[in-house]
Amino acid sequence: MRTELVRIGNSRGVRIPKPLIAHCGLGDMVELRVENDCLVIAAARRPRQGWEEAFRAAGSAAEDELLLENAESNDFDQKEWRW
C-alpha cells in the first residue's frame, strides 16, 4: 500500500487506515524503530511485558544460595550503616 506523507507542523506524518490499525493491534501508543533502513511501527509493549514468563522459565529459586550471608563486613558496614 502506498500513502502520502502529510505535514504536521515541522514534521511529517503518515495516516494509517483503520483496517491496518485493527489488523496489527495498534492502540493509542506505538513504538517506532529503524531496521535495515526501514521504519517499523509496532504496537507499544506494556512495561515489563513478558517478565512473568521469563521468571517462570528461570525455574525455582529453592536451590539458590545466599551469597551475602557469608560475606565479611567492611568498614562501611561497621561504622556507617544504620537500620
Question: What tens-digit pLDDT sequence spans the chain (83 residues)?
Answer: 899 999 999 999 999 999 999 999 999 999 999 999 999 999 988 788 888 899 889 888 777 777 777 778 888 888 888 77
How far is Cα 76 from Cα 62, in angstroms, rounded to an integer? 31
The burial of 25, by beta-carbon neighbours within 10 Å (0-12 exposed, 13-18 middle, 19 or more buried), is given as: exposed
Distance CA(29)–CA(38), nearest Å, equals 19
Beta carbons within 8 Å of 32's beta carbon, 6+ residues apart: 39, 40, 41
- Compute, in degrees rounded to 10, the torsion defined by CA atoms 21, 26, 32, 33: -90
| SS3 label, residue 36 | coil
**Topology at the third CATH level for domain 1-46:** Pemi-like Protein 1; Chain: D (2.10.260)
Record the pTM: 0.52
